[in-house]
Structure 1
C-alpha cells in the first residue's frame, strides 16, 4: 500500500472498522483516479460485507448490493 493510504484518525457511525482515510484531491481528474475512487467505494461498503470471513462470501455480498447510483 502507498504511504498515503492510511486508516482514519477516528471512526464515525458511517465507517466500518476496515475503512481508509479519504485522499484529498485538488481536482475532479484526480478524484477519479484509482486510489481515491477505490477508497470511496470501499468505505461505502457495509461492515458485514467487508468483514466476510471468506472471499466467496465477500463476492456474494457485493453481488447482492444495489449498484445503481
Structure 2
C-alpha cells in the first residue's frame, strides 16, 4: 500500500473496522483516480462483507449485495 493510504484516526458509526482514511483531492481528475475512488467504494461496503473470513465468502456476500445506490 502507498504511504498515504492509512486507517482513519477516528471511527464513526458509518465506518467499519477495516476502512481507510479518504485521500483529499484537489480536483475531479484525482477524485476519480484508482486509490481515492476505490477507498470510497471500500468504505461504503457493509462490515459483514468486509470482514468475511475467506475470499470465497467475500465473493458470495458481494453477489448478494444490493447494488442499487
TM-score normalised by L of structure 1: 0.95
TM-score normalised by length of structure 2: 0.95
Mean CA deviation greater in 1-10 or 56-65: 56-65
Aligned equivalents of 1:33, 1:62: Cα separation in 2: 23
Paired residues in the alignment total 69
Q: CA deviation at 1:36?
A: 0.2
**Which deviations, in whole Å up to 9, do the C-alpha atoms of 1:18-66 show, x marking residues without a partner?**
0000001011111000000000000000001000011001011111112
- Structure 2, unpaired ranges of 5+: none
Q: In the alignment, does 2:27 pair up with 1:27? A: yes
Give 1:68 deviation, angstroms. Answer: 2.8
What does residue 45 of structure 1 align with?
45
1:36 aligns with 2:36: yes
Q: Distance in 2 between matches of 1:65 and 1:48?
A: 11
Which blocks of at least 5 consecutive residues in structure 1 are unaligned?
A: none
CA distance in 1, matches of 2:63, 2:29: 28
